[in-house]
């Protein structure tokens, strides 16, 4: 078919030694998180009740290259470097002159990119003498990643799993328990936050917002327990940059340079992970473009407002500068559960605001159509979240075909969809529906933004 190989593999010895910290190079760094009571910037010591010192330091560091501790690299070697694929068969199916590459993070034990940060977070907490981590999970991908990581570093792990997912995705729970985690359906009777909800509504299906409140309360009320978050925060995006750093080297091995980098965007760690190392080149004058893809049901970048908002529904977190739909916005129950967060990473938000990142939203049927075409040409069944990037890559490749342009497109295939086959069933049987325009619900939630200084 071509001289260019299908899989471009890096030797284990080329595993990155440092993470890339984009704060060192951003033209304008994001505004600081604010304490909602005082309105003053959050002090590092305010976070010490739930995060270890090393992660608090990384959250605010402006050092460009941050060394990856050797024990973390040792665990990364279980599945990293991950393969970069040239999508020869997809290109042929589309008849496009574009060259399509995808980085595949589904080869991790948990099946997504999330272990890249889970492993680092477990390591730093263990170093700080913590015995247990508490977290929340919606669709189950983050809970799985943290369960795996805690197990590998000898930590206990408590996962508050949104009740509906707990009931609908028993095998995600089973996977977490296999790695030794304790999984509670949320709302649970184990926390005040959970008991309060159960008191009012015993059959509550739960929400990510409630589960976050439970996990944070668990961590804040136990000396030996910390909290871990799977996206949004600066240190999480930092850890994910191994994806883009490897991809750049892999492209260079075949004499390529990306013109366009695409990733789905929930809280932003997947996008930041693959794209930030390419933005490093952009800040130095390169013309590479970055495209974030989100669901129409939760269009944070494309229809949100750039403002200070709480990270959780209850309003327990600091005020974060971000594109937000309003913390009270409850997105429709689309199948890409990992893309249903109301806000976005401060780093991604600021870069988008300045035009270094573009964004686009898709309805879910178009996303599944792309996922099936991808599965039938490349073989891999994508996670519904990842399929958003597949949709955009296909559309961009078709645009190249129209315009007779041979661009090099790179996207991140952030995970496989083996736990999402019910969603594929719904698509194939015609039961998967596009949601109604969420404009009114978004407007209502935006009207409830907290009082805070404007960002723009």
Ligand X SMILES: *Cc1c(COP(=O)(O)O)cnc(C)c1O
Closest CB 230 distance from ligand X, rounded Å: 7
Closest CB 208 distance from ligand X, rounded Å: 11
By CB under 6 A, the count of residues binding ligand X is: 19
- The answer to the question of residue 391 lying near ligand X (CB under 6 A) is no
- The answer to the question of residue 414 lying near ligand X (CB under 6 A) is yes
Closest CB 114 distance from ligand X, rounded Å: 6
| Cβ proximity to ligand X, 268 vs 277, nearer residue | 268
- The answer to the question of residue 165 lying near ligand X (CB under 6 A) is no
Closest CB 281 distance from ligand X, rounded Å: 22
Using CA atoms, how far residue 253 sits from 10, 137, 258, 307, 422, in Å, is 9, 37, 13, 42, 39
Name the one range near ligand X by CB under 6 A: 3-11, 14-22, 128-136, 379-387. Answer: 379-387
- The answer to the question of residue 143 lying near ligand X (CB under 6 A) is no
Hey, what long-range contacts does 153-157 have (CB within 8 A, 24 or more apart)?
153/71, 153/119, 153/122, 153/123, 153/125, 153/126, 154/126, 155/122, 155/125, 155/126, 155/130, 155/131, 156/131, 156/132, 156/180, 156/181, 156/182, 157/132, 157/133, 157/181, 157/182
d(CA 67, CA 32): 24
Peptide bond before residue 187 is cis, with ω within 30 degrees of 0? yes
| Cβ proximity to ligand X, 331 vs 338, nearer residue | 338
Contacts with ligand X in 206-265 (CB under 6 A)?
A: 231, 264-265
Give residue number: closest CB to ligand X: 415
Contacts with ligand X in 279-308 (CB under 6 A)?
A: none
d(CA 72, CA 117): 10
- The answer to the question of residue 270 lying near ligand X (CB under 6 A) is yes
| Cβ proximity to ligand X, 19 vs 225, nearer residue | 19
Residues contacting 221, CB < 8 A, separation 6+ = none
d(CA 159, CA 157): 6
- The answer to the question of residue 320 lying near ligand X (CB under 6 A) is no
- The answer to the question of residue 108 lying near ligand X (CB under 6 A) is no
Closest CB 340 distance from ligand X, rounded Å: 10
How many other C-beta atoms can be found within 10 angstroms of the C-beta atom of residue 15?
17
Find tokens 């993470």 and name the residue. Answer: 19
- The answer to the question of residue 144 lying near ligand X (CB under 6 A) is no
- The answer to the question of residue 114 lying near ligand X (CB under 6 A) is yes
d(CA 97, CA 235): 38
| Cβ proximity to ligand X, 194 vs 338, nearer residue | 338
| Cβ proximity to ligand X, 225 vs 345, nearer residue | 345
Closest CB 141 distance from ligand X, rounded Å: 4
| Cβ proximity to ligand X, 265 vs 381, nearer residue | 265
Strand order in the sheet with 260-264: 7-8, 84-86, 99-104, 408-413, 260-264, 289-295, 358-362
Single out the residue of 52, 187, 267, 343 in contact with ligand X (rule: CB under 6 A): 267
- The answer to the question of residue 385 lying near ligand X (CB under 6 A) is yes
For every residue of 49-89, DSSP letters joined together read TTS-HHHHHHHH---SEEEPPHHHHHHHTTTPSPPEEE-HH
- The answer to the question of residue 58 lying near ligand X (CB under 6 A) is no
| Cβ proximity to ligand X, 104 vs 306, nearer residue | 104
Six-digit token pair at 241? 């940059």
Six-digit token pair at 204? 């509550």
Six-digit token pair at 373? 């075409």
Using CA atoms, how far residue 125 sits from 136, 222, 256, 293, in Å, is 17, 14, 39, 32
Closest CB 386 distance from ligand X, rounded Å: 5
Name the one range near ligand X by CB under 6 A: 168-176, 279-287, 327-335, 380-388. Answer: 380-388
Single out the residue of 185, 299, 311, 338 in contact with ligand X (rule: CB under 6 A): 338
Residues contacting 244, CB < 8 A, separation 6+ = 20, 261, 273, 274, 275, 276, 277, 278
- The answer to the question of residue 331 lying near ligand X (CB under 6 A) is no
| Cβ proximity to ligand X, 16 vs 415, nearer residue | 415
| Cβ proximity to ligand X, 81 vs 140, nearer residue | 140
- The answer to the question of residue 342 lying near ligand X (CB under 6 A) is no
Closest CB 155 distance from ligand X, rounded Å: 21
Strand order in the sheet with 156-162: 182-186, 156-162, 132-137, 225-227
- The answer to the question of residue 141 lying near ligand X (CB under 6 A) is yes
| Cβ proximity to ligand X, 139 vs 409, nearer residue | 139
**What does the binding site for ligand X look like in residue numbers (CB under 6 A)?**
112, 114, 141, 231, 264-271, 338-339, 383, 385-386, 414-415
């Amino acid at each position: 078919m071509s001289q260019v190989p299908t899989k471009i593999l890096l030797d284990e010895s080329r595993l990155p030694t440092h993470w890339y910290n984009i704060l060192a190079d951003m033209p304008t760094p994001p505004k600081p998180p604010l304490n909602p009571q005082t309105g003053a910037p959050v002090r590092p010591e305010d976070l010490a009740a739930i995060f270890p010192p090393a992660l608090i330091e990384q959250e605010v560091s402006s050092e460009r290259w941050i060394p990856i501790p050797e024990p973390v690299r040792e665990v990364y070697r279980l599945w990293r470097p991950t393969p970069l694929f040239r999508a020869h068969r997809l290109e042929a199916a589309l008849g496009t002159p574009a060259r399509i590459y995808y980085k595949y993070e589904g080869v991790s034990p948990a099946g997504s990119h999330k272990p890249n940060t889970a492993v680092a977070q477990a390591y730093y907490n263990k170093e700080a003498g913590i015995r247990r981590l508490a977290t929340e999970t919606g669709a189950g991908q983050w809970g799985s990643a943290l369960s795996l990581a805690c197990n590998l570093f000898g930590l206990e792990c408590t996962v508050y799993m949104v009740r509906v997912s707990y009931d609908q995705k028993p095998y995600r729970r089973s996977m977490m328990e296999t790695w030794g985690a304790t999984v509670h359906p949320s709302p649970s009777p184990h926390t005040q936050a959970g008991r309060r909800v159960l008191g009012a509504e015993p059959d509550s299906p739960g929400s990510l917002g409630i589960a976050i409140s439970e996990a944070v309360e668990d961590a804040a009320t136990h000396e030996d327990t910390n909290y871990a978050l799977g996206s949004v925060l600066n240190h999480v995006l930092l850890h994910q940059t191994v994806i883009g750093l490897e991809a750049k080297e892999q492209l260079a091995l075949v004499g390529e340079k990306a013109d366009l980098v695409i990733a789905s965007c929930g809280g932003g760690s997947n996008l930041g992970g693959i794209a930030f190392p390419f933005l490093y080149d952009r800040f130095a004058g390169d013309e590479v473009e970055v495209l974030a893809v989100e669901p129409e049901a939760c269009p944070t970048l494309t229809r949100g407002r750039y403002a200070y908002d709480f990270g959780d529904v209850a309003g327990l977190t600091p005020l974060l500068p971000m594109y937000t739909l309003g913390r009270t916005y409850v997105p429709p129950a689309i199948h890409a559960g990992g893309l249903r967060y109301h806000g976005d990473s401060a780093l991604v938000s600021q870069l988008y605001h300045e035009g270094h990142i573009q964004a686009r939203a898709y309805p879910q049927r178009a996303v599944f159509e792309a996922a099936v075409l991808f599965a039938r040409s490349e073989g891999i069944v994508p996670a519904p979240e990842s399929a958003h990037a597949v949709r955009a890559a296909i559309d961009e490749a078709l645009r190249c075909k129209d315009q007779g342009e041979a661009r090099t497109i790179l996207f991140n295939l952030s995970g496989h969809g083996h736990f999402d086959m019910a969603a594929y069933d719904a698509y194939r049987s015609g039961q998967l529906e596009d949601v109604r325009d969420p404009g009114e619900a978004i407007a209502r939630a935006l009207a409830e933004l907290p009082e805070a200084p404007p960002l723009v």
